[in-house]
Chains A and B, each alone.
Chain A
Amino acid sequence: MSEDRQKRMALIAAQGTLDWAYPPFILASTAAALDMEVTVFFTFYGLTLLKKDISAQVSPHTNPAMPMKMPFGPQGFQNISWPIPNIISGNVPGFDSFATHLMKKTFAKKGVATITELRDLCIDSGVRLIACQMTMDVFGFTKDDFIDGIDFGGAATFLEFAAESDINLFV
């Protein structure tokens, strides 16, 4: 390698739904595997991704581009993308839980890692995870709600690292 110093990636994770949980952990773990120094700052809804129990859900109602396919049955049936009218996706109780369950099942079938697995891989490979102190206060979370091995800080903490980073992303 002809690099003078190690590449750095700084990432802000501000979303807490299941579909938005994947990008930060996939990018962070892969960047670390490519020998980059990585820091991820979890703020607003993204802070929930550092909890001991991640209960992230996905909401098709607010994601009209999501293909709604069933991960079971004959292949022809699985290929069907079901149009779900808003009156169902926005009004039927438990629809989000149902959609979340199907998404998790689809991902498991396709051999994609779970969020928890990806988070563990990040920690194992030295990715620095920072929890936004302000969000913690605002949402009434305490340190006990979160996993071990994370730091706590604010915008300045993140920006100090981001100023020296090659890749800066906001998710």
Chain B
Amino acid sequence: MSEFSVDKELDCRGMNCPLPVLKTKKSIVEMDSGQILKVISTDPGSIADMAAFSRRTGNELLEQSEADGEYIFFFKKS
């Protein structure tokens, strides 16, 4: 996993659809353009959801990975 300088981290562990996407949107709206948001989720549906969120809102999904049942996403605010 590459290292990003994360500006904000959002813990969505234990949350089920649609909360991970809703919380991600809420967090990213408060950030400045170019800042990086790290989201951790345990919802398997979030893999597809976060990619769709990225495409729909234009916030680039820099990287996504999985480790021990946790899904980690790095977004760059557009």
Contacts and interface: CB of A to CB of B under 8 A. Distances in A.
Contacts of B58: 1
Interface in B12-39: 14-19, 21-22, 24-26
Nearest to A27: B18
A29 B56 contact: no
A30 B48 CA distance: 14
B52 interface: yes
A159 interface: no
A111 B44 CA distance: 13
Contact of A29 (B15, B18, B43, B57): B18
B49 to A, nearest CB: 8
A34 B58 CA distance: 10
B14 A30 contact: no
Contacts of A34: 21, 25, 52-53, 56-57
Interface residues on B, range: 10 to 19
B19 A33 contact: no
Nearest to B25: A33
Given A26-B17, A110-B16, A111-B14, A121 B22 contact: yes
Contact of B22 (A1, A29, A111): A29
A35 B21 CA distance: 12
Q: Which 6 A-B pairs have the closest CB atoms?
A: A33-B25, A34-B56, A111-B16, A30-B18, A111-B14, A112-B16
Interface of A: 1, 26, 29-30, 33-35, 110-113, 118, 121, 125
28 contacts: A26-B17, A26-B18, A29-B18, A29-B22, A30-B18, A33-B21, A33-B22, A33-B24, A33-B25, A33-B57, A34-B21, A34-B25, A34-B52, A34-B53, A34-B56, A35-B56, A35-B57, A111-B15, A111-B16, A111-B19, A111-B43, A112-B17, A112-B19, A113-B16, A113-B18, A118-B18, A121-B22, A125-B25
